[in-house]
Chain A
Amino acid sequence: MRWLRRLFQKEKSERHLDAELRFHLEQRTRDLIAAGTTADDARRRANLEFGGLEPTKEDCREASRARFFEALFQDVRYGMRMLTKNPGFTLAAAITLALGIGANTAIFSIVNAAILRPLPYKDSSRIVSISVHTAMFPTFSLGASWPDFQQIRSQAASVEQTAAYSNTEKTLTGNESPAILSIAAVSDGFFEELGVTAERGRLFTEQDQKPGQTHVAVISDAVWRTRFGANPSAVGKTLLLDKEPYTVVGVAARGFTYPQETEAWLPVSLTPADQQSHTNFMFEVLAKLRPGQKPEKLQAELDTIAQRTARDFPDLGADYHFSFQYLLERHVQGTRKAYFMLLGAAALVLLISCANLASLLLARGSARQREMAVRAALGASAGRLLRQGLVESCLLALIGGVLGINESRVSQIHKSALEKMATALASNGITSSQAF
């Protein structure tokens, strides 16, 4: 590892090299003066004899550097020769590795897209989803009631934006064949909190949330394309949802389907009784923590609100409290395990291919004992032989890696299949986590 250290000590070794050669020149000059030459002559002669400081320096650098790379190139060349000499072995080893690496790369790219990357919403890392718990329904996490939502919105100082929504389905009838649309009834501030814009028309305003004016809808880009043929005049048309007319006011930005493959959003419309009800646990509450705010602060505020509500309404049952979860965690809840299992399986495949490769190499190693013995007898040190083996293995790994990445590219052709699997996993996860 001396060469490595030298890489970092380049400046120092340069200084030393210069000092060493200059010392020689000075010493020579001094000796010449002592022998009776004039100072100027002595300096000139010393320089002349030396024959150029810079070329000598370069040769010195070369001399201390060359050996490592020289030997490495030698090993690489030799390794290549050995690999081409046994194409069967090389092919088997490379393909074994390629399969393992390819599977891992493919699976990892799915996991990366599904779990590791943040959600595509504005400041999504600060958004939490709040749930309600009570001893009445000990095993469930419930949505919040409308009064709860209002309390959180007005009293939790650690959050800067709040919104509530609930999921339903409505039957679309009218011009075409009927269909069931996945609907989210959303409070004001919903789109703003997620940072979504309208692709066409507009999103909801406060006006739309007022009683009697809630018969408006925002549709998803997908619905706009499939049901309205991407016609710009779709905005302003009327949708019949469960036989009630809703005017389309806008199309949401392409790709936006929150909460879950949602096809249309309507304003929350509640009867006065529902608005007052403390047991109408139907709203998912999204709150965005202020930047840098500690989640503990929010929990403390939620506890205060819950305690007050529980005191005012004893019928809510014992142990009435709120909890929250970051949106990303909630999003991958349930599916996370499946993804990591998949990743683990792929890792195992790689491990198996590595084991296979190891035994292949081992078998070849014992076949090459003679060769090694000869090289050792000719004076190759143990370290050198070991390095030869390492270089050969690295070459194999390189070939395998290149093939593997290509393979995962090829498997992108089956991307639609992979995506289908991903959505299957996702919908399973969501149904199991929202089973109440």
Chain B
Amino acid sequence: MATSDERTDLLKGTLDMLILKVAALEPIHGYAIAQRMQQISKDFFQVQQGSLYPALHRLEERGWLAARWNETDTGREAKFYTLTRKGRKQLDTEMLHWERLSVAIALILRTAE
């Protein structure tokens, strides 16, 4: 597990992209989104609930996520989010931006030495 020093606050705007990405696989509820992000990033990202849920609501409001109440495997009612078509487009754009950005940053870091 990464120590707290190593853990990074997400860059502003990247949380939205990550949520969209995670929700792109299957309908998923908020708790599972947080778990999934933490697992995939090998505990590097600690998603704060205080920013996760507002982000989910914001994305739903923008029409990028659609929400529906469903039963979980354990038989509890939970709010599941799915990516909409509009959300898919948004995710594609953001990923493209991100790639360009990271390529550019990497370039600078490498050549400025």
Contacts and interface: CB of A to CB of B under 8 A. Distances in A.
Contacts, number: 63
Contacts of A24: 30-31, 34, 49, 53
Nearest to B62: A67
Interface string B56-71: 1110111000000100
B53 to A, nearest CB: 5
B28 to A, nearest CB: 12
Given A64-B60, A67-B58, A20 B50 contact: no
B78 interface: yes
Interface stretch (A45-53, A280-288, A393-401): A45-53
- Which of the listed residues A62, A64, A67 has the most CB atoms from chain B within 10 Å of its own CB? A64
B76 to A, nearest CB: 6
B48 interface: yes
B79 interface: yes
Contacts of A64: 57-58, 60-61
Given A16-B79, A23-B77, A59 B31 contact: no
Interface residues of B, number: 22
B55 interface: yes
Contacts of B30: 20, 23-24
Nearest to B69: A16
A26 B75 CA distance: 13
A55 interface: yes
Nearest to A68: B61
B54 A59 contact: yes
Given A23-B78, A23-B79, A24-B30, A49 B58 contact: no
Contacts of A2: 61
Contacts of B79: 16, 19-20, 23
Contacts of B54: 56, 59-60, 62-63
Given A23-B31, A28-B31, A60-B57, A52 B77 contact: no
A91 interface: no
- Which of the listed residues B30, B31, B55, B79 has the most CB atoms from chain A within 10 Å of its own CB? B31
A59 B55 CA distance: 9
Given A20-B30, A27-B31, A52 B50 contact: yes
B48 to A, nearest CB: 7
A32 interface: no
B29 A23 contact: yes
A23 B62 contact: no
Contacts of A50: 49-50
A56 B49 CA distance: 8
Across the A-B interface, the 5 shortest Cβ-Cβ residue pairs: A59-B54, A63-B58, A63-B54, A63-B57, A27-B31
9 contacts: A20-B78, A23-B77, A24-B31, A50-B50, A55-B50, A61-B57, A62-B54, A63-B57, A64-B60
Interface of A: 2, 16, 19-21, 23-24, 26-28, 49-52, 55-56, 59-64, 66-67
Given A24-B53, A56-B49, A56-B53, 18 more contacts: A2-B61, A19-B77, A20-B53, A23-B30, A23-B31, A24-B31, A24-B49, A27-B31, A27-B76, A49-B49, A51-B50, A52-B50, A59-B50, A59-B54, A63-B54, A63-B58, A64-B58, A67-B62
